[in-house]
Chains A and B, each alone.
Chain A
Amino acid sequence: MSLGTEQRPFDPTDLRATGSARWADPLFRTISFAAGISVLLVLGLMIGSTTLDALPVFQYQGLVSFFTTSEWNAGSSRNELTGTYGAFAFIYGTLISSLIAIMIALPLSIAVSLYINRIAPKRFRTTLAYTVELLAAVPSVVYGLWGLLSFTPAVLLPVSRFLSGYLGDVPVIGRIFEGPVPNTNYFIAGNVLAIMILPIITAIAREVMAQTPADQIDAAYGMGATDWEVMRKVILRRSFPGIVGASMLGLGRALGETIAVAMLIGGQQRWGISIFFAGQSMAGHIASTFQDAAPETVNALIAVGVGLFVITVIVNMLARVLVWRIGRVAGDAAL
């Protein structure tokens, strides 16, 4: 009975790949390698092309003057630089609104992470964590709309007026809370930014805290520690580097946030000490004035963008290094 296969003597070349098998694997490898490299390529191109456009502006205005003076007079030329480009007011606006955001969001995130990890009943933990994370899914233009037409008139403006009224006359620190309080300002942008970065910081802080070894927590409880003592002396102490990294990541997000800030920060191309000053941020200034900008001013805006990029990338890299050791966080909000 024949099985339909013919026995033939073994030929050593049988084990060699033939036909498509010969090139299919290397080809697939090359294609995926190209895709991997494309990430670096895009990033490189991004830095290269913008820097190329920004360089003449830095040269024209002077690098130091570009970042430290605050007079911005857009020129209207097609092919030469005629305006005055000092971006300090926008840098200040970016920093102050992000600072306000982090000052509000960081303690809140730590508290929420502790609550979810240590106090909430186990069966609610995932739901609570996910509810907070959903805040990261809300598009920034919706934050802007809601902030502008709903949250600000209903909550933030009354709070601002109250703060300004109470603290505006206090010596020294009064200047920070000085009125008048316009409808859009640093403080309002900072508050909405805080809500926007809350889910990012919470997602990472929660993950970091969850990695506290259970036996260390048991050891502290075993000595009669209270819940708060366990949180403070064991969990927070161990999670400190991760929480710093998380807040840096949140800070990076706040610095680069564009649309919501453009809608809420004020719009004046100047800066002021008061947190109720209607100023402008780097990203907000680019978004708000880009449409009407002459070619030379577009280059100046690109220069502002390069400055913003450098700041956010440094902050992000520091954050990644700090969060690195806890591994990459898979939460949706951290993306």
Chain B
Amino acid sequence: MTDPDPESALDARPGLQKRTVYEMGTAPVSAEVGAAVFDVEHVDVRYGGNLAVRDISLRIPKGEITALIGPSGCGKSTLLRCLNRMNDLIDGASVEGSIFYHGENIYAPEVDPAEVRRRIGMVFQKPNPFAISIYDNVAFGPRLHGLKKGLDDRVEKALRQAALWDEVKDKLNDSGLALSGGQQQRLCIARAVALEPDVILMDEPASALDPISTLAIEDLMRQLRGHFSIVIVTHNMQQAARVSDRTAFFTVDMQKGIRVGELVEYDRTETIFTNAGDERTEAYITGRFG
């Protein structure tokens, strides 16, 4: 196992020049990433002093869908929650290294996490609409940020983008909790979309849903592709294969009895699924492990 170059400066701003960010796989995928929305550089995450994720570096392209996959405990959700600083909310969580968002380190001291989260929306594992009306759920974010002009249009647009408009247009004043599980999750996507974020992070968005609702969410993701950069965490490899452009495979390193998440390989999804460079990736994908 080769460690990334320890000499590389953490605060170096990455340009768009081709350079290998991570040297594990056969094809250094970063070489092909044109415009990046995230540049993750040597990120370690600790919870209460215990290392949870070690030395992650990858570039996430703009306008595409990037899937983070791997066995449970591999740190894929942890990394996702670093991308919009949701980890700040957990007591004792600390992040080292840098995450550049359009070339700007979101962990720089002057950056306000609320501002980061406004630009980078998030959809959670369990649908979590508020116990208020469908309309108010979607309008929640815009109202928060004082975007009260044209609110009705904004809500309608978001609901249309989330492919929910036709189902709810006659009952916008009903409680968001009255919807089915799949509809609730699309409502949560609409809620995130309503703020017109640049990126949407999805943390196993379909894991609490039935197969049909799952397919609807996947369709939706393909529709949103291009309008938003999407990063999705999933434990479902078929899902990653179906929807994503790129896939990053994580694993758990059990050295010295401590479970630490690591990035094994990151490449185009078709490459990962047909011609994985690392035997651990292949073992996981073919179901021999994990």
- Taking Cβ atoms with an 8 Å cutoff, the residues of A that contact B are 121-122, 213, 215-226, 229, 233-234, 237-238
Contacts and interface: CB of A to CB of B under 8 A. Distances in A.
Contacts of A225: 114, 144
Interface residues of B, number: 28
B126 interface: yes
B192 A222 contact: yes
A230 to B, nearest CB: 10
Given A223-B117, A226-B114, A238-B131, A215 B124 contact: yes
A223 B140 contact: yes
A233 B118 CA distance: 17
Per DSSP, chain A at the interface is helix
Nearest to A234: B130
Interface of B: 84, 86, 89, 91-92, 114-119, 121-122, 124, 126, 128-132, 140-141, 144-145, 188, 191-192, 195
A217 B90 CA distance: 12
7 contacts: A219-B128, A220-B140, A221-B89, A222-B84, A223-B118, A223-B192, A233-B144
A122 to B, nearest CB: 5
B130 A216 contact: yes
Given A122-B91, A233-B140, A221 B130 contact: no
Nearest to A229: B144
Contacts of A121: 91
A12 to B, nearest CB: 54
Contacts of B130: 216, 219, 234
A301 to B, nearest CB: 49
Given A222-B117, A224-B114, 5 more contacts: A215-B126, A216-B130, A222-B121, A229-B144, A238-B131
A234 B130 CA distance: 8
Given A122-B91, A226-B114, A221 B86 contact: yes
Given A221-B86, A224-B118, A216 B195 contact: no
Contact of A222 (B124, B129, B145): B124
A223 B116 CA distance: 9
Given A122-B91, A219-B188, A233-B140, A224 B128 contact: no
A223 B144 contact: yes
Contacts of A237: 132
A224 B191 CA distance: 12
Contacts of B122: 218, 222
B140 to A, nearest CB: 7
A224 B121 CA distance: 9
Contacts of A233: 140, 144
Nearest to A227: B114
Contact of B86 (A222, A226, A229): A222
Nearest to A215: B128
A223 B195 contact: yes
Nearest to B84: A222
Which 5 A-B residue pairings sit nearest by Cβ, starting from the closest?
Answer: A224-B118, A222-B122, A215-B128, A223-B141, A224-B117
Contact of B191 (A122, A217, A223, A234): A223
Nearest to B123: A222
Contacts of B86: 218, 221-222
Nearest to B129: A219
A144 B190 CA distance: 58
Nearest to A222: B122
B135 to A, nearest CB: 15
A71 to B, nearest CB: 52
Nearest to B145: A224
Nearest to B116: A224
A238 to B, nearest CB: 7
Contacts of B114: 221, 224-226
| Best-surrounded residue of B118, B131, B144, B192 (most CB of chain A within 10 A) | B144
Contacts of A238: 131
A219 B124 contact: yes
Contacts of B128: 213, 215-216, 218-219
Nearest to A225: B144
Contacts of B116: 224
